[in-house]
Amino acid sequence: MPLGQEPPQLLKQRLFYEGQKFNFEVNRLRLPNQVEGDWECIRHPGGALAVPVTVDGELVLVRQYRFALLGRLLEFPAGTVEVNEDPGETIKREIEEETGYRAKTWQSLGSFALAPGYSDELIYAFLAKDLEKLDTPPGLDADEDLEVILMSPEQLEKAIMAGEAIDAKSIASFFLARPFL
């Protein structure tokens, strides 16, 4: 096997933090070239995201506060996949809770790694169409602070290009959905 093709050897694994949404570990590895080092990794169960589209062709987004960036970000509805939960079920629940809409038509847009340099989190993206507005208001979690925003695909694309929409999972999912909008 050529150099670089073999996986590194795991020498030691240390769990530094076990949280509700993710774990943080440090792994001591020996590379195929015999160099040893520590690699930090966030272990995350994954997330599901929807690109919701109304019957009028508008996109349903949320603007929510993100502590890590100390600001409000424009994003598509998303949520963490619970233990033993299918990502499709995760996003069906999240879209209703965060936006007050329910989709009649669902299409998988695939999955992608969010930050593979330090996390194993995968995002499962879906196109949600033929939305109906629910009679009940969104059922936000106690730690959620967001507002629902409607935009045309052209408006969102301009916001992305202007650097006003910077959430990577939403940008990637938008461009995966663009051919179907």
* Parallel/antiparallel/unpaired status of strands 122-133 and 101-113: antiparallel
Give the mean pLDDT of 5-29.
92
- Residue 62 tokens read as 């949320």
- Return left, alpha or beta for 159; rule: phi > 0 is left, psi -120 to 50 is alpha, else beta: alpha
CA distances from 167 to 18, 75, 86, 104 (A): 25, 6, 23, 26
pLDDT (tens digit per residue) in 31-90? 999 999 999 999 999 999 999 999 999 999 999 999 999 999 999 999 999 989 999 999
Closest CA to 79 of 116, 45, 115, 42: 45
**What's the pLDDT score for residue 6?**
86
Report which residue type is found at 56.
Answer: D
Closest CA to 74 of 163, 179, 177: 163
pLDDT (tens digit per residue) in 116-162? 999 999 999 999 999 999 987 666 666 667 899 999 999 999 999 99
**What's the pLDDT score for residue 146?**
87
pTM: 0.89
Q: All domains of the chain, ordered by start, with CATH?
A: 9-43 (no CATH), 47-180 (3.90.79.10)
